Amino acid sequence: MTVTALVGTQWGDEGKGKITDVLAAQADVVVRYQGGNNAGHTVVVGERTYKLHLIPSGILSPGTTCIIGNGVVVDPQVLCGEMESLRSAGISTANLYISERAHVIMPYHRVLDELEEAHRAVKIGTTARGIGPAYVDKYLRIGIRMLDLTNPQRLARLLEQALAFKNPLLQKVYGHPGFSKEELLGEYLEYGRILAPQITDTSLLLQKARQQGRKILLEGAQGTLLDIDHGTYPFVTSSNPTAGGAAPGAGLGPNQIDEVIGVVKAYTTRVGEGPFPTELTDATGDLIRERGREYGTTTGRPRRCGWFDAVMVRYAARVNGLTGLALTLLDVLDVLEEVKVCVAYDYRGQRLEHFPTDLDVLTDCRPIYATLPGWQRATGAARSREELPSKAQEYLDFIAEQVGCPIQIVSVGPRRDQTIFL
């Protein structure tokens, strides 16, 4: 029996969907433990490409139980739509369960996300899905949870309580008309009716799975540098994508997690605002964007692209307690004459080996690069380390040494079979 946490080590979009999909084939249960439909997973199975935002990509492996854990914020409208589109593609959602403790994203959260972003002097670049405002209400103790959607009296009472906060804020600060309790009540009770068979105590379900010796995969969304505690605050999301968030977000004890795999791109990308020391604003950056199809799954925004930043991934190895790395998108670099890895930062003449907390310092950091020769050969057909060009192997070894963590998996293309287990 193994419980594995799979986390993003950069700014999200590391290819966790593909790695989850590959590992899900060997797992019995896949759990999302934080975030919401701000995430986007692209998974290619055969000829079809699936884009999932909320439902764990394990749903594409028949027989795998999928759980949306209590740490996730759930937009039921999006969830119902995603379930429907999977069913219409012939994929069963009978094995999908949603924690009764998960908080619900309401329409006023989506509206506030946009209005608050417009109000900010410094923009965060939020996905405007209502994620942050839903977590705010969770901590304000006025949130609505999935189990409330199946209880008309309680939902009416909780909506009244929430709207007593939200409507004056919307009307007096933002000039928005606000929301009617009756309209929300009808719509959200209907979601409760549709989703009732899947809403359950998922922590109990996980405990039973562990007792039966099942393999469990805990799937983080976003990435370490977007973590509310460990990320580049304030340019972060509102939850803990780091491995520490997996236990409370899934309803397990921290000592029950056996391994932590960090998913890392062969280069770096970022969507939204904030400093990015190895960003490439030149033709190489454009080449990486085009070859890597680096456009947001959720918002379609072009992603900022840059070289691999070992300072950042070393930091991710530390705050997640990584036991291994899964390196993705190696093939994107196939055509380059040389590849660079940032091994340290130069901050006003001082060499920094550790990722700084102060964003003003990070903004002033210049990358110190090690330059390695490119391999200039296609890697997409390689299925073992030996089948990779020797210079690509050297690149992998250099990254593992710099990060201080072994590489266990290498992905050389979007398809399931384009995966090398080292």
Question: Would you name the residues annotated as active-site residues?
Answer: 13, 41
Q: Does 57 bind ligand IMP (CB under 6 A)?
A: no
Tokens found for residue 205: 């379900």
Asked if 65 and 94 touch (Cβ cutoff 8 Å), the reply is no
DSSP class of residue 192 equals H
Query: If binding means CB under 6 A, how many residues of this protein chain bind ligand IMP?
Result: 21
Cα 268 to the chain's mean position, in Å? Answer: 15
The least CB distance from residue 271 to ligand IMP, in Å, is 4
Stretch that binds ligand IMP, among 71-79, 102-110, 128-136, 185-193 (CB under 6 A): 128-136
CA 422/CA 82 separation, integer angstroms: 34
Asked if 249 and 240 touch (Cβ cutoff 8 Å), the reply is yes
Of 129 and 340, CB closest to ligand IMP: 129
The least CB distance from residue 238 to ligand IMP, in Å, is 6
The least CB distance from residue 377 to ligand IMP, in Å, is 30
Beta-bridge partners for 367: 345
Type of residue found at 199: I
The least CB distance from residue 250 to ligand IMP, in Å, is 18
3-state DSSP assignment of residue 323: coil
Residue 285 phi/psi, 5-degree rounding, is -60, -40
Binding to ligand IMP in span 258-297, by CB under 6 A: 271-272
Question: x-or-dash pattern for ligand IMP, window 216-255, by CB under 6 A?
Answer: -----xx---x--------x-xx-----------------
Stretch that binds ligand IMP, among 8-16, 55-63, 170-178, 344-352 (CB under 6 A): 8-16
> In this chain, which residue has its C-beta nearest to ligand IMP?
272
Q: In terms of residues, how long is the chain?
A: 422
CA distances from 138 to 248, 329, 373 (A): 14, 36, 50
Q: Does 124 bind ligand IMP (CB under 6 A)?
A: yes
The least CB distance from residue 110 to ligand IMP, in Å, is 10
CA 203/CA 34 separation, integer angstroms: 14
Contacting ligand IMP (CB under 6 A), which of 40, 58, 71, 413? Answer: 40
Q: Does 39 bind ligand IMP (CB under 6 A)?
A: yes
Q: Does 14 bind ligand IMP (CB under 6 A)?
A: no
Q: Does 129 bind ligand IMP (CB under 6 A)?
A: yes
Q: Does 125 bind ligand IMP (CB under 6 A)?
A: yes
With a CB cutoff of 8 Å and minimum separation 6, the contacts of 385 are: 393, 396, 410, 420, 422
The least CB distance from residue 298 to ligand IMP, in Å, is 6
The least CB distance from residue 88 to ligand IMP, in Å, is 24
Tokens found for residue 357: 């907390």
Of 174 and 295, CB closest to ligand IMP: 295
Of 64 and 298, CB closest to ligand IMP: 298
Q: Does 15 bind ligand IMP (CB under 6 A)?
A: no
CA 331/CA 339 separation, integer angstroms: 12
Asked if 140 and 112 touch (Cβ cutoff 8 Å), the reply is no
From its phi and psi, is residue 46 left (phi > 0), alpha (psi between -120 and 50) or beta? left
DSSP string, 329-379: -GGGGTT-SEEEEEEEEEETTEEE-S--S-HHHHHHEEEEEEEEE---S--
Residues that bind ligand IMP (CB under 6 A): 11-13, 38-40, 124-127, 129, 131-132, 221-222, 226, 235, 237-238, 271-272
